Amino acid sequence: MLVGGTDTIAITLEWAFSELMRHPIIMKKAQEEIRRVVGHKLQVEESDINQMHYLKCVVKETLRLHPPGPLLIPRETISNVKVKGYDIPAKTMVYVNTWAIQRDPKNWESPEVFMPERFQHNQIDFKGQDFQFIPFGFGRRGCPGYNFGIVIVEYVLASLLYMFDWKLPETSMQHIDMSEVFALALTKKEPLLLEPIAFSF
């Protein structure tokens, strides 16, 4: 389970940084919150993360736009069922497309826009109870390691944003390619290259 989670954690962090680099105002807001909460300590402590409400919104919005697994593990119907006027016979293999659900304009305002604020004053969570937001699946077949994954993503993202400011390398084109490669996990077509600048406290 730990090995299986490392890839999706790295992918989620890369997507989060890609979105933050494309939205410098959002990055600045996240960094200001992190640096206010941590103060002048040498590093982020795990207990600090619970006070970083905007950072949690950034992580949720990243998972909404870029779910680690765009298709959930296939399911099979155990009996005949009718869904939205469609008759689905027993023993039918069903694939749930989280990528499409989480970008559906019926569920989300401006679904293609990276907007962490959408999570600031609503209770939608990724624990499988809100079916418009299911990056880790739902029910008994939900991801068993999602708690571990979220803790690691939040902690690493907070630490990197606390310790460094970030910029695109001078040699790169000042453009971030957001093309996706569909596989078991949804990765970036072109890797993100950034230069860290140590933040002086």
> Known binder of ligand: residue 57?
no
Record the tokens describing residue 191, joined without a space: 């890797």
Going along the chain, which residue ranges are E strands? 75-76, 81-83, 86-88, 93-94, 164-167, 180-181, 187-188, 195-198
How many CA atoms, within 13 angstroms, populate the side-chain half-sphere of residue 90?
Answer: 3
* Integer-rounded Cα radius of gyration of the chain: 18
CA distances for 38 relative to 35, 63, 75, 135, angstroms: 5, 24, 44, 29
| Sign of the Cα pseudo-torsion (67, 73, 76, 77, in order) | negative
CA distance 36 to 103: 32
CA distances for 30 relative to 33, 116, 176, angstroms: 5, 10, 20
Cα Dmax for the chain: 63
Is 86 in a helix, a strand, or coil? strand
| Phi, psi values for residue 162, rounded to 5° | -75, -45
**Residues flagged as binding site for heme:** 143
**Residues flagged as binding site:** 143
